[in-house]
Structure 1
Amino acid sequence: MTKNRDVIIWSKQGCSYCNEVKTYLQEEGIPYKTVDVTHNDAFRDILDTKYGIRYVPVVEIGSSEDGIYQAITELGLEHLKAALAEEKIQS
């Protein structure tokens, strides 16, 4: 059963890892929203508060309805793919 989940990518301009994540999601037909931290250190402060990191990409998967999100902070598509499979998110 496919769950209705939001996918949010925290990224910055010129980040090759961020672009890799976005390209993968586009190819899989998975919609996502982007939070661009390029010129906004306050967004990095939020990442620091939430996850203890200031780097991107960070991918959050969850629901705005219940406010529960899982964060993928490790680099590499294998981590994202595993989280998407766990959440049963499909195009």
Structure 2
Amino acid sequence: MANNLSIVVWSKQGCSYCTEVKTYLHEKGLAFQTIDVTEKDDRRDILQAKYGVRHVPVVEIGQGNVYEAVTEVGIEHLEKALENTALKGIH
């Protein structure tokens, strides 16, 4: 995947699932931005408005204004979203 792919990981301190996601992305050589929601209810409010969840991790993958969000916990969901993104030609 090329550099124009954008990945944003919404996470919080002490979240083992969040660490697992970030480690996976590092191992795949994928750059990402982190938005920390630790003690930031306004950021959780954004997740609620966008995706109907307040939990983390949430991973947004896309380009421009076209994004797919992974709200389910588990690397398999992230892998599937990355594959779908590649298949759609977003890279």
Both proteins in one fold, TM over 0.5? yes
TM-score calculated relative to the size of structure 1: 0.89
Deviation of 1:26 (Å):
0.2
SS at match of 1:39: coil
Amino acid at match of 1:30: L
Unpaired stretches in structure 1, ≥5 consecutive residues: none
Aligned to 1:24: 24
Alignment of 1:1-91 (within 5 A): 2=1, 4-63=4-63, 65=64, 67-88=65-86
Deviation of 1:52 (Å):
0.6
Which runs of structure 1 show a deviation greater than 3 angstroms over 4 or more consecutive aligned residues? none
| RMSD (CA atoms) | 1.4
Work out the CA distance in 1 between the residues paired with 2:41 and 2:12.
11
Count of aligned residue pairs for this structure pair: 86
Deviates more, 1:79-88 or 1:8-17: 79-88
TM-score calculated relative to the size of structure 2: 0.89
Unpaired stretches in structure 2, ≥5 consecutive residues: none
Percent identity, please: 56
